[in-house]
Structure 1
């Protein structure tokens, strides 16, 4: 499972997040999605830690905490929804 981290500064880096979350345990991976068209960070990310206990400690400590001028939103990440594929209409329209 991973942690969702929202309301991030657009200047935040993977190294920055790793440093913050490392205070609560071993950080396995950090992902900061970027916008496909602009390449700019989207303002949220995901952190994976080594254990559920470490994730829980980080969530409890950091949810609502002020960091880089913003109040972070930190909680368990929900599984991605299947948005379906392809898009567009089919048939004789």
Structure 2
């Protein structure tokens, strides 16, 4: 099960996130999402747990918990929505009909 964890302290690292959830069962992966320009935490992450029962227990017990001075939110991750890709060929063109050129 993929779990979304938000309102994390910017000090929390991948390994810290893994440790919080390992108390409830096996963790396949734990990843803090970082800003691609500054490489600083964006305050949320994802945890993957192969055992759904363990994941549900972790969600129930960790949602609303205080971690590093912040109350975290823990929910089942929703599938990422497809967003249209930016197409640079669709730039707006501005013209002035009064132009002599």
Same fold (TM over 0.5): yes
Cα distance in 2 between the residues matched to 1:17 and 1:79? 20
Does residue 1:62 correspond to 2:62, yes or no? Answer: yes
Per the normalisation by structure 2, the TM-score is 0.85
1:78 is displaced (CA, Å) by 0.4
**Aligned residue number for residue 7 of structure 1:** 7
Taking structure 1 as the reference length, what is the TM-score of the superposition? 0.92
Gap regions ≥5 residues in structure 1: none
Q: Following the alignment from structure 2 to structure 1, what is the Cα–Cα distance between the partners of residues 54 and 71? A: 21
State the 4+ residue runs in structure 1 displaced beyond 2 angstroms: 86-93
d(CA) in 1 for partners of 2:14, 2:92: 48
Count of matched residue positions in the alignment of Structure 1 and Structure 2: 93
Q: 2:29: which partner in 1?
A: 29
Match of 2:71 in 1: 71
Higher Rg of the two aligned structures: 2
Cα distance change of structure 1 residues 9 and 90 upon mapping to structure 2, 3 Å threshold: same
Give the C-alpha shift of residue 31 in structure 1: 1.2
Contact 2:17 / 2:31 at 8 angstroms: preserved in 1?
no
Distance between the aligned counterparts of 2:31 and 2:84, measured in 1? 23
